[in-house]
Amino acid sequence: MTNPEPADPKASYEVFDPAFRKVSEGIFVVGWARKPSEGLVGIARHDGEVGAAHVAQYLSGIQPPQSASADDIARALKAKGIQSVSKSDLSLLARAEEREAHSRGVAYCKFSDDAVMLSAIKQEKSTSTEPVSETVS
Compare 61 and 34 and report the one with higher pLDDT. Answer: 61
Nearest of 15, 19, 8 to residue 30 by alpha carbon: 15
pLDDT in tens, 64-97: 888 999 899 999 999 999 988 989 999 999 999 9
Judge if pTM exceeds 0.75: no
Say which residues have a Cβ less than 8 Å from residue 127's Cβ, sequence separation at least 6. Answer: none
Q: For the chain, which residues make up each domain, given as ranges?
A: 11-60, 70-127
Rounded Cα gap, residues 50 and 13, in angstroms: 9
